[in-house]
Structure 1
């Protein structure tokens, strides 16, 4: 166990402003944990997180999967939130008493106390009204459930026949929007329209300010399924609003009850089937939704009541009243005919816990769209080992050259059709957009020619944004990209052009006897302009920490914008939030978080904790396998991965291992290419021998086949089949790939993974232009060490290793063997980057006989104990 949560007693400004410090919780009884006796590591985690929130720190905590991490995080954060709310209440009362005393020192104490009591009563009135309102909603829900009626959002109103129908105004619908300009048919002056917009904005602001933005925890994870599991964990605790009502206790509405709001995109929550049918991707779904809300559109979405409509307020209260996941809210939204996407957005300010996927938290534009204000709030990011790569991925964009040519052709066709009907402003901007697209296309054509004769360029060419635009040349070089992107967004030009192209495609298919192109081909063509717009948006956000890479992919040119510095995109979160918790099952190595995410944050603001596992040490055996049965050293460097002797040695070791391990064995390999080499080198002879002992499975390259492969793998373990010789197999053997579909988010618990084998070190391709530039960039960061580039390179590898081997132990009673097959795992440089719950007890086997003896003894002891 290692913690430096108490390394510094200094208070941050956020903590100092919050009032007197709370006593740090220190005993099992202090935390309302749902089980009688938490594990010691769960108590350590709760104490560390609670202290970090109190002191306004950034906590980086590692708790292995299977140790109740999510439940422990919820208990710690919500315990602090509850205590913090009481403190704020006490602080408000003290502030009032001090203010009234200072205003009139001659007033007797009873007068001051009376005034304090009256004002505190006014402050409590809103909270009490909210609690009463939600209690009434829960009571109503109970009656409706018993009557088999609609759920949280109330009864569905009859539909107005003309609402929600998407209007077709002929080709006029393809003309660019005027953004914030006055509508063409308006008789009002621009000055009057501006004044009305100001007044309307003021009213909206007042409406928002009527609802207090209560202190809350924003809890983010990678996927909706992980957040769904979090909701289930929350229901185990005493915190959820409405839980007591559902269980018949009748105590809901207490001050400590936590309202959960699960946020998701329109793709997950839209219930307008007409819009969903017409919008073939998420971008177009968002645009179609927003179009149905525009003033004067004449086709407001039937499921979105106006802001002051009681149906929307009822839906907001239904979200707050009882804990539900996204699927429940969508079903109840359909039953009530009220949009769950906007109901959840409206509920955010009054909730204490908001769950959301990474991308909605990490993108400033998404936070703004959802009305998320992180100021003085708590941010918890689970599965945070992905955080740096997720930030880099969100702000990077890949654009095939074919999309550029498609978009240019579509825009040329569009301009020819509508030029005479365009306002001069639109005609000018569209002409400039076309110049940029043609210029970028020319850059790609020239690169393809150069790459054909220059091997170095064929690997990729790196440019900064200014160099790229200089190559675009002509009118494109003179275009203000920021203004151009602003125009594209305001005019919705990408949607107009793509819509027009789609209408021509449909008309041509209807007139001719030829078969229309496949849906995927048409979608790729129509999506071209949207992808171009996303790429241009990335260029405007490039600053000095982005690069453009030209490369070839199967002979086709790709233009990619890559972000190099995730810290600047995460800086707003760090600056705004009171405290941040980064949590994961395997957070090692943590040095990248300090250097790449928080380079300017003083080290004393961090609290770190690496938990041991809840399993006894005897339930895990981790061995470094340095040498094979034939005394050949295992070192799977990229240069010798094709060595037939080395591959044969690996095969011999695996053949021996599978005979010693019961049930399931999972072998992680560095790449799909290496898996193919193994199959070729081993041939049918060795593969047949392996299959005689355990049924063979291979990680599918298609995501659609993953579930069926896992089902078959589990079935082969639960009900072993006879092999070709008529003897029963002892389980199954799965070959998987590091960083592939089975290395994260898949649990090989119990019999599914009695042994996990990691073959080699999956270092990234050091020849990659993108990786080389990223390594150069981290070397130039302030305070970077001389070895910063190598640190990054090694850490990328070990983070992938740790995620893969973490698949083995998934709960307190699980047991497994982990084999690290490469002698480099014995070095301190590599071992120090393993999770501490694994790395502290690694056994280095100098030869295969020692490794085999360790495996056999481990499982012999388990059989003797009858487990």
Structure 2
């Protein structure tokens, strides 16, 4: 890998870095070496994650090397380094004031991101580097726990309570194995993500949750979500020590929001009522037992075993505390207009003091609540919801998060931290929805309208300062959209000496940015509150969208400020007929409110964009929605982005109002006004940051290009433009005429398409996440019923629903016919015996203890595993089993077994598990898009695996075969021999093939041939002796011949075979085959060599002869198995026992040097030792004087090979086999 020296540190980078990447790494090193904080912005596609990982790990290695040098210098006491004093060595390790005297002083790196899926992408990037640090990933019990009983719990807090209970009693065998197995190399050495931890934990019977906590102690870099750092409760629960660490927040544009939310809460009447219900239940149980003296002893034993150690009086006091808290909240007077009242943050302590919840009593209350939760968790009987009690515990911990110093009153500490908070009490507005739900633990108090107590934190600096005070050495915030950096730093209220706004790596001809103040009709475009719903503005925006859709190729993204604005716009456009005009150019897809149906809609959009001959599609989404953040709209999926307005937060929302008031108050208190952000500046920043996230969808990599349309006149103002990213501002142009916009955009795309033609689909690069890659590759599928549903605007826009979803109107005859036809097609499908059936067969055969690890292994793989264990000399087990029933021999079943062997050999265990899960999902759901996405990630990246991708074609269901061939051609450049008949249902294929085979048999087989070639009488010696003097009725020169009867014996035959392989399959495949032969020479592993040969020779029918001729290399003891495998793969009937394929008879003949081996020589013909049961016809053939002199018309005509979809040969039925 290329090495770059920056600030005296050598950084190994996977490729030669771009200038902006070098600048980014230099700034990271500056933060690390000077022990200062930094805010670094680098656009998406510039490789900021890779730069972060390589730079920080290179810096750690540099410190480690310096410490090593210091130790050596101290050891030799200057004898070998007389010219260099110890102080000079120390200066190398003491970088800018560091005191690094030993290896334990080298700082740990804590890498935090928003979600675990993003962390999985980061770990994937780490695997692509040359660095191999000790890695740890922290997760929750919900993600990591593998104990069956704990996983069954309804909620996260119930899982936590039951887990703690089992750990305390040492009743979890997974936890008991942690200390013993945490040092095993397979668990401690490799770079593992969350999924790897769970898989290895299940494999080694060790708890992944506590294993990760153990690995944390020795880890060089620790990955975790944001809230584990920003939430003081989570930090304490995971025992995270931040002293001297380097903390990195990736995708940090969300840090502000999470800082505030982690320190805020909303306490509803339902929460209090739920807690009271649980305490009442425990109180009644204890009182009932106390009244019966004869049950007292049993009660004591039960409470001690369950962890409950409370007196009846203590439980009653706890109930009184909750009742007083409820009364204190209800006693607050509210105005009659349902606006609520706002109190200063310190009011929360007064309110809680009325319920006797203070700094002095909080410890006892928390302990009592925890004991009750532990007592109720995991017990048999009626489920008890303890969510209300758990929320009360969290609330008390938030309010009293800062412990007072010894001797100081707690109220003063509370007053100091409450400056960042506001208390807002308002009427509950969700009581009507709550009344409609049936909750077993609801009380009358929770169903009536009550008051909600909100304690809102309005300064992320509260959590950020607390984080820095833990002793953090360096804090780095980075993202693609942090601008404006000045306001972002002001909100955090901690110093950030190092700042960077990195440019993009694209050229000027790759991006077009324009502000469009007016539409085609000259009406001003505005999303302001007083204009956004006016008919003139909506009409002008619709006309602008229609014109832009004409000139932007492929995918077009349209972002609205909010869902109501988007829905109102669509409703107006449909009423005016504008949406039909846009759909005629680019079909419309709408982002749904429901996250569950989002993947269906986005996949349908990708399908439409990728459809051959399509003009693309239009995707309507919302700023701050799922589509505006995290999704990859690279290349064709997003050539243009339209932002229809500035997405300001709702101005009348109480939380927004209080946030702005709080910032204005803080700015007024500040001695220097510029040191704080005003409410209006924050309000503007929220809109601009959402816009920046949306426009970041258009350029996703170095060779991408696209256009950005800012359709709001307010974007022309200088302050709005100043908040745009630095890489966008140089390209920005304000247009006063809409016609010039269309002209310039059309010219831009003409130049861009010539300079950067459409990329050929290839393997997903490391900079694209696996989840994003799966979504991207799913676009290669064609239309389906879900596509039509996703394109129906009525489904996703409530205001447009005029009829039940999915029922076509009377006038929509075409839609009705399509729906009915597809329903009939799906219901009439019959799944053939094939790869999926083989997979299910193997799952049923696998043992219960190995069901997870070997769910998709074939019988041959299980046999291979047993053989390898025996070869290692391990413990052997003798077990009597019934003879396993093998699947019916046939083309599809045989190919399925061989293909699974090939895939198992080519993929890692983790990828093989992913492959089998994709097959199971495809089998159950017929989801071709998900299947293609998985296969692409597994096989498209490595050219050596393209053969496996092609070979999978024969197992694809008929209605997906044409799509699969197109995808395979785009990814590999090779076809799969698709024919129109392959797309017919299996029943129709069988009928068509049967008629064709019947006609061919009449043309090629002589009368009575089926009688003369009865295998039960004549085929004792196999295929080499099937040559007869039968007279054919037609031209039979092209009929397939089994074996190598016509080949020259010995070395010439071998050379001819390899030459034919090279011509038919290419040099790469030929090299694979020869490599497999070399391996077969050394390890005598038939399954391995057959996996390679079958994958290479069964993709196309014309290559099957190469499989037949390969018999010359098979050793004697493997020939029966090879013959049977060939029969399975070619669809021929099982001939009988003792069957062998022919081979050159000259045993003295040599083979190529790389294949030379005593057993690799072509074996002798079976004719040297004639069997006693030799048939008449085989005797006749053995007496022929000149084997090489026979002509083509004397060779027996073998049955035509059926397509791979059929497992039972029609020819076999005709012949009575």
TM above 0.5: yes
Distance 1:110 1:393 in 2: 60
Aligned to 1:263: 138
After TM superposition, give the deviation of residue 424 of structure 1 in Å: 10
2:286–2:312 contact (8 Å) kept in structure 1: no
Distance 2:74 2:262 in 1: 44
Aligned to 1:167: none
Residue 776 (1) aligns with residue 667 (2): no
Distance 1:737 1:799 in 2: 14
Aligned to 1:33: 13
1:212–1:350 contact (8 Å) kept in structure 2: no
Which residue of the other structure, out of 368, 389, 414, is the alignment partner of 2:257? 389
Does 432-441 or 611-620 show the bigger shift? 432-441
- Counterpart secondary structure, 1:612: coil
Distance 1:466 1:676 in 2: 42
Aligned to 2:1143: none
Change (3 A) 1:259 1:859: same
Show CA shifts across 1:662-698 (max 9, x none).
1111111111111121122222411222211111111
After TM superposition, give the deviation of residue 413 of structure 1 in Å: 3.2
- Counterpart secondary structure, 2:646: coil
- Mapping 1:474-623, distance limit 5 Å: 476=355, 478-480=356-358, 483-484=361-362, 486-489=364-367, 492-493=370-371, 495-496=373-374, 499=377, 505=382, 526-541=386-401, 543-544=417-418, 545-551=420-426, 552-554=428-430, 557-575=451-469, 576-599=471-494, 601=495, 606-623=497-514
Aligned to 2:911: none
1:414–1:497 contact (8 Å) kept in structure 2: no
Q: Please report the TM-score for the alignment, with normalisation by the length of structure 2.
A: 0.53
Residue 362 (1) aligns with residue 230 (2): yes
Distance 1:349 1:866 in 2: 49
- Counterpart secondary structure, 2:253: helix
Aligned to 2:175: 304
Distance 2:206 2:269 in 1: 42
Residue 630 (1) aligns with residue 521 (2): yes
Distance 1:651 1:302 in 2: 64
Residue 463 (1) aligns with residue 343 (2): yes
> Which has the bigger relative contact order, CA under 8 A and spacing at least 6?
1
Show CA shifts across 1:614-649 (max 9, x none).
111211111111111111111211222221111111
Aligned to 1:667: 558
Distance 2:43 2:173 in 1: 47
- Counterpart secondary structure, 2:111: strand
Which residue of the other structure, out of 649, 662, 678, is the alignment partner of 2:540? 649
Change (3 A) 1:470 1:375: closer
Distance 1:110 1:748 in 2: 63
Distance 1:473 1:787 in 2: 34
Distance 1:495 1:29 in 2: 53
- Mapping 1:753-792, distance limit 5 Å: 753-781=638-666, 782=670, 783-785=672-674, 788-792=678-682
Change (3 A) 1:90 1:674: same
Show CA shifts across 1:357-393 (max 9, x none).
1111222332333332222221111001111111111
Distance 1:598 1:95 in 2: 43
* Structure 2 unaligned spans of 5+: 90-101, 291-298, 402-413, 432-448, 758-1217
Give the aligned length.
681
Change (3 A) 1:554 1:301: closer
Aligned to 1:275: 150
Distance 1:112 1:858 in 2: 64
After TM superposition, give the deviation of residue 751 of structure 1 in Å: 0.9
Aligned to 1:203: none
1:213–1:349 contact (8 Å) kept in structure 2: no
Distance 2:550 2:17 in 1: 38
Q: Please report the TM-score for the alignment, with normalisation by the length of structure 1.
A: 0.73
2:5–2:11 contact (8 Å) kept in structure 1: yes
Which residue of the other structure, out of 691, 715, 723, is the alignment partner of 1:833? 723
Residue 701 (1) aligns with residue 593 (2): yes
Show CA shifts across 1:552-611 (max 9, x none).
434565332211222232224324122121110111122233222134x3xxx5111111
2:515–2:712 contact (8 Å) kept in structure 1: yes
- Counterpart secondary structure, 1:379: strand
Distance 2:509 2:284 in 1: 75
Which residue of the other structure, out of 52, 73, 82, is the alignment partner of 2:61? 82
After TM superposition, give the deviation of residue 804 of structure 1 in Å: 1.4
- Counterpart secondary structure, 2:734: strand
Residue 323 (1) aligns with residue 213 (2): no
After TM superposition, give the deviation of residue 425 of structure 1 in Å: 6.4
Change (3 A) 1:112 1:693: closer
Aligned to 1:291: 165
Show CA shifts across 1:488-530 (max 9, x none).
2465145257659x96745xxxxxxxxxxxxxxx8xx542222
Change (3 A) 1:735 1:587: same
- Mapping 1:213-292, distance limit 5 Å: 215-240=107-132, 258-277=133-152, 279-292=153-166
Change (3 A) 1:497 1:734: farther
Residue 744 (1) aligns with residue 619 (2): no
2:561–2:647 contact (8 Å) kept in structure 1: yes
Show CA shifts across 1:739-779 (max 9, x none).
11211111111111111111111111222222222223223
Aligned to 2:40: 61
1:779–1:789 contact (8 Å) kept in structure 2: yes
After TM superposition, give the deviation of residue 212 of structure 1 in Å: 4.7
Change (3 A) 1:752 1:553: farther
1:488–1:494 contact (8 Å) kept in structure 2: no
Distance 2:483 2:368 in 1: 44
Aligned to 1:199: none
Change (3 A) 1:65 1:566: same
- Counterpart secondary structure, 1:303: helix
Distance 1:505 1:598 in 2: 50
2:175–2:210 contact (8 Å) kept in structure 1: yes
Change (3 A) 1:480 1:626: same
Distance 2:70 2:237 in 1: 33
Change (3 A) 1:424 1:216: closer
- Mapping 1:401-416, distance limit 5 Å: 401-416=269-284
Distance 2:388 2:235 in 1: 26
Distance 2:499 2:348 in 1: 42
- Counterpart secondary structure, 2:556: strand
- Counterpart secondary structure, 1:292: helix
After TM superposition, give the deviation of residue 96 of structure 1 in Å: 8.0
2:7–2:29 contact (8 Å) kept in structure 1: no
1:747–1:807 contact (8 Å) kept in structure 2: yes
Show CA shifts across 1:202-254 (max 9, x none).
xxxxxxxx9957532111111111111111111111112xxxxxxxxxxxxxx
Show CA shifts across 1:335-367 (max 9, x none).
110112222211222221111111112223323
1:494–1:530 contact (8 Å) kept in structure 2: no
